[in-house]
Structure 1
Amino acid sequence: MQLKAALANCPELTALAEHVRSFAHMLTHLHGDQLPDWIEAASATTELPSLRHFAQHLLRDLDAVTAGLTLPWNSGVVEGHVNRIKMLKRQMFGRAGFELLRKRVLLSA
């Protein structure tokens, strides 16, 4: 109810919410083929300069963004491992050498 009240009082927020919903739909349902249309619609909004700026930056690497919104593969597992290793490195900073870090990384996996 609070969202509806806020959207009723601000037409720019209503437009932004609609653009965000359509982008989220593309992202969750892997409809990357709809991205050029979304970028065109988002770039046409004069009252939302941040959204227009975001949409124009997507054009810089359109092929990669389209692939990310279309293909079922992602690098989530790899990024998770990298994040875990970086956390272990931060915990051990200045305390031990490479061999102990190596053992701890291998044992935590």
Structure 2
Amino acid sequence: MRKNRAALGVDNAGRQGLARPWKPPGTRRIARLLQSDAKGIAGADGVFIARLRRTAPKLANAADLAVRFARMLRGQSSEPVTDWLAATRSSVLKRLAAGPQREVAGIDNAIALPWSTGPAEGEISRLKTIKRQMYGRAGFELLRQRVLNSV
């Protein structure tokens, strides 16, 4: 029996000695791979992404637009938001870009100006946490005391 197992390429633990077949990555990993530099992806994943980009040009275009938008938000690109929005009109992202179309001035300011609403959002989150912890326990006066004492 051992000779037969060895001839089949099975080791002592009963596993096949052959390499396992390649399994395509999950959707989150595919999204991350599509947004990364194609030259930096090696092996089977690189071949998969290259083939995916060739066979699904709309998907490749959407990934490229997402990368361009991320670069704009990080300040790595001086491309105007209006140019990006114009490029999305002929892509699968046209519905996504319909909302920001109305807020171009606000998006430009958010990218260009150094101010952030982060501190205010943090305070709102803290207050909501306190309120959730107290749900059904007491009225506004106790909530007020807890908020003022936690500062």
Structure 1 residues 29-77: Cα deviation after superposition (integer angstroms, max 9, x where no partner): 17576100000011122xx1xx101222211122112211221111011
Which structure is richer in relative contact order (CA contacts within 8 A, separation 6 or more)?
A: 1
Q: 1:71 aligns with which of 98, 103, 113?
A: 113
Matching residue of 2:123? 81
- CA distance in 1 between partners of 2:117 and 2:76 (Å): 15
Q: Which blocks of at least 5 consecutive residues in structure 1 are unaligned?
A: none
Q: 2:94 aligns with which of 52, 55, 58?
A: 52
Q: What stretches of structure 1 move > 6 A for 4+ residues in a row?
A: none
- CA distance in 1 between partners of 2:103 and 2:81 (Å): 12
- Of all paired residues, the percent bearing the same amino acid is 37
Structure possessing the higher radius of gyration over alpha carbons: 2
Q: Counterpart amino acid of 1:8? A: R
Matching residue of 1:22? 68
Query: Normalization by structure 1: what TM-score?
Result: 0.81
Q: Does the 8 A contact of 1:33 with 1:70 survive in 2?
A: no
CA apart distance, 1:89? 0.9
In the alignment, is residue 95 of structure 1 matched against residue 137 of structure 2?
yes
Normalized per residue, the structure richer in helix is: 1
Q: CA RMSD in A?
A: 2.2
